[in-house]
Amino acid sequence: MIVMKNICKTYKVTRRNAGFKEAARSFFRRETETVTALDHVSFTIHDGETVGYIGPNGAGKSTTVKILSGILTPDSGECLVDGRVPWKNRIRHVAQIGVIFGQRSQLWWDVPVIDSFELLRDIYSIPPDTYRANLDEMTELLGLSEILRTPTRQLSLGQRMRCELAASLLHSPKILFLDEPTIGLDAVSKIAVREFIVKRNRAHGTTVILTTHDMQDIEAITRRIILIGKGKILLDGGLDELRRGGEDIDHTVAELYRSYEI
Amino acid sequence: MEKTKKISGAKLYRRYLSIHVRSVMQYKASFWMTTVGQFLTSLNMLLGVYFMFRRFGSVKGYTFSEVLLCSSIMLMEYSLGECIARGFDTFPAMVRKGGFDRVMTRPRSAVLQVLGSNIELTRVGRMTMAVIMFVYGISHSGVHWSAGRVMTVIFMLIGGTALFCGIFLIYAALCFYTLDGLEFMNILTDGAREYGKYPVNLYGKRMLQFCTFAVPYALVQYYPLTYLTGRSDNLFTMFLPLLATVFLIPCYLLWRVGLRHYQSSGS
């Protein structure tokens, strides 16, 4: 279970006007501004839930995911993930979660995918039986048998994302964070990725937290959505409650953003 | 997941090393050219020392082969340090590209993972040069090799490598604040390699003090060298290089403090 209570996080951002003179000035005297990324964010996510975490760019989605995955320490507030404080007991915590950043690869670039998987097996100290079972399952569900021997750099984006999914699940995490997993993918790959995530959730009860701008991801994968804007949780509810009339989900969300002026 | 035994850090490091060897083999031409380049670059060092001695014959009582011994050991330490701690040297890029976020989401120590992220095998080139210089130094310096003196050289290599690793670690730790590389730190790495060609007492008392108490180069260089070349028979100097490994402690603490300040970099 994930519990977040009044989490706040601010960043210091330096600002200056355009031009060389301004750049030179800011070299000596910097004007910093404090930007609030998260402003008393609270929510609870139960085991096995699928949650879409949505909001415009810069709303605080990534910051939330980074706090939940032990990368960042919040300024204030409480956060417990299965009884662990992510940033206090990082190593114990991250052994139980999987994280995918859609824009960054976690596979070693120049070696075949299977070599990356084996290194991950060693990093996570995955028992041989678990590793074998997970690898077999994923190879079948994601159709990896053809590409496991290919170096990562020679994979298409769709193939790579399928490998990324497998890589994040080799250690059987209870919670899976997905940060824009379908970005840049073609229709076939998108559908494959979505279907796989749904299956994984059903078969293993993996909690899925998904941030995306693709509303079809949300529709296909999640049951519940949390809307964040300017660092505040604006809405938290079932997908069905959100829809008004027969409009498609993109319009519904655009309407939502407009109504909250974010 | 059932509880299983964690594989040891040393074993995991060997796995990282194995990945790097496999990666390098993908780019054979690039590897050889860089290695040969490294070899030729370090030829500079040899030539520098050579011409100096051709002009002056001896420098503050040190002979050509003694200085060669000194500079080759320094070069070996530097190459080993750079090979092992290259991950810290390229750490600014890792932070900027968000690679460090990935490190944070894996259940092993950050230091081990950063070390594993980059193991620079092309430094073999520099190492080869150093070994050649070292062999020449040995055969011409007239050092009477005893078990103690052989141990001294080994201690020097251990201490010196640790020292350079420590400096690279400081460099990485400072990046947590600046999110960028700090060129001035190169004085302590590349600079030390260059100045370290000669025993540091050559540069005066102040410099010797700095290199004894602040950044302890002298512990792995000047003091044990006096023992090696028979200028001192104080057995204590033989073990001084091992003392230099203590330098890693403040470096590591600085890293820990920096880690707590980590801010990540965008989405």
Q: Where are the domains of chain A?
A: 45-259
Number of H helices, E strands in chain A: 10, 9
Task: Answer whether B114's CB lies under 8 Å from B94's CB.
Answer: yes
Task: Answer whether A223's CB lies under 8 Å from A49's CB.
Answer: yes
The helix (run of H) or strand (run of E) holding residue B73 is helix B64-89
Strand order in the sheet with A232-238: A97-101, A175-179, A207-211, A50-54, A224-229, A232-238
Best interface-test mutation with B: which of A75, A109, A122 has the largest number of B CBs within 10 A? A122
User: Residue B143 is encoded by which pair of tokens?
Assistant: 């050092």
Q: Please tell me what DSSP assigns to residue A226.
A: E
pLDDT at A190: 93
pLDDT at B11: 94
Average pLDDT, chain A: 90
- Give chain B positions within 8 Å (CB) of A90: 104
Q: Indicate yes or no: CB of B262 within 8 angstroms of CB of A130.
A: no
A:B CB pairs within 8 Å: 86
User: Residue B247 is encoded by which pair of tokens?
Assistant: 């330098």
The per-residue pLDDT for range B209-222, each reduced to its tens digit, is: 999 998 999 999 99
Closest-CA distance of chain B to residue A197, Å? 20
Task: Answer whether B70's CB lies under 8 Å from B199's CB.
Answer: yes
**Which class for B96: exposed (0-12), middle (13-18), buried (19 or more C-beta within 10 A)?**
middle
Task: Answer whether A37's CB lies under 8 Å from A231's CB.
Answer: yes
Q: Which among B15, B107, B264 has CB closest to A95?
A: B107
Beta-carbon contacts of A200 under 8 Å, excluding residues fewer than 6 positions away, are A169, A176, A206, A208
The whole-number average pLDDT for the span A49-60 is 91
Class of domain A45-259: alpha beta
Give the separation between CA B258 and CA A69, rounded to whole angstroms. Answer: 19
Query: Does the complex come out with an ipTM higher than 0.90?
Result: no
A11 interfacial to chain B (CB closer than 8 Å)? yes
- Give chain B positions within 8 Å (CB) of A109: 23
Q: What is the DSSP secondary-structure string of A166-199?
A: HHHHTT--SEEEEESTTTT--HHHHHHHHHHHHH
Task: Answer whether A37's CB lies under 8 Å from A61's CB.
Answer: no
pLDDT at B267: 44
The per-residue pLDDT for range B51-72, each reduced to its tens digit, is: 988 888 888 888 999 999 999 9
pLDDT at B142: 81
pLDDT at B265: 61
Beta-carbon contacts of A13 under 8 Å, excluding residues fewer than 6 positions away, are A32, A33, A34, A35
Return the top range by mean pLDDT from A250-259, B50-59, B236-245: B236-245
Q: What are the φ and ψ backbone dihedral angles of B129, each rounded to 5 degrees?
A: -55, -45
pLDDT at B180: 67
For residue A251, pLDDT over 60 is answered with: yes
User: Residue B210 is encoded by which pair of tokens?
Assistant: 């700095």
Closest-CA distance of chain A to residue B2, Å? 8
- Name the nearest CA neighbour of B157 among B70, B229, B236, B86: B70
Q: Strand A232-238 vs strand A224-229: parallel, antiparallel, or unpaired?
A: antiparallel
Closest chain A residue to the Cα of B109, Cα to Cα: A91
Using DSSP's 3-state secondary structure scheme, residue B144 falls into coil
Q: What is the DSSP secondary-structure string of B115-136?
A: HHH---GGGHHHHHHHHHHHHH
Q: Indicate yes or no: CB of A119 within 8 angstroms of CB of B15.
A: yes
Closest chain A residue to the Cα of B94, Cα to Cα: A104
Best interface-test mutation with B: which of A124, A164, A179, A183 has the largest number of B CBs within 10 A? A124
The whole-number average pLDDT for the span B28-55 is 90
pLDDT over 70, % of chain B: 96
CA distances from B78 to A71, B13, B85, B231 (A): 33, 20, 10, 25
Task: Answer whether A9's CB lies under 8 Å from A72's CB.
Answer: yes
For residue B2, pLDDT over 60 is answered with: no
| Helix ranges restricted to H, A95-246 | 113-123, 128-142, 157-169, 187-204, 215-221, 239-242
The whole-number average pLDDT for the span B253-266 is 82
pLDDT at B1: 42
pLDDT at A245: 52
Q: Indicate yes or no: CB of A115 within 8 angstroms of CB of B22.
A: yes
CA distances from B112 to A59, B5, B164 (A): 34, 18, 16
User: Residue B44 is encoded by which pair of tokens?
Assistant: 């500079």
Give the separation between CA A134 and CA A132, rounded to whole angstroms. Answer: 6
The per-residue pLDDT for range B98-118, each reduced to its tens digit, is: 899 999 999 999 999 999 999
Give the separation between CA A69 and CA A90, rounded to whole angstroms. Answer: 8
A71 interfacial to chain B (CB closer than 8 Å)? yes
Beta-carbon contacts of B130 under 8 Å, excluding residues fewer than 6 positions away, are B42, B72, B73, B75, B76, B79
Strand partners, A13: A33
Q: Indicate yes or no: CB of A62 within 8 angstroms of CB of B267.
A: yes
From start to end of chain B, where are the E strands? none
- Radius of gyration (C-alpha) of chain A in whole angstroms: 20
Closest-CA distance of chain A to residue B34, Å? 18
For residue A27, pLDDT over 80 is answered with: no
A45 interfacial to chain B (CB closer than 8 Å)? no
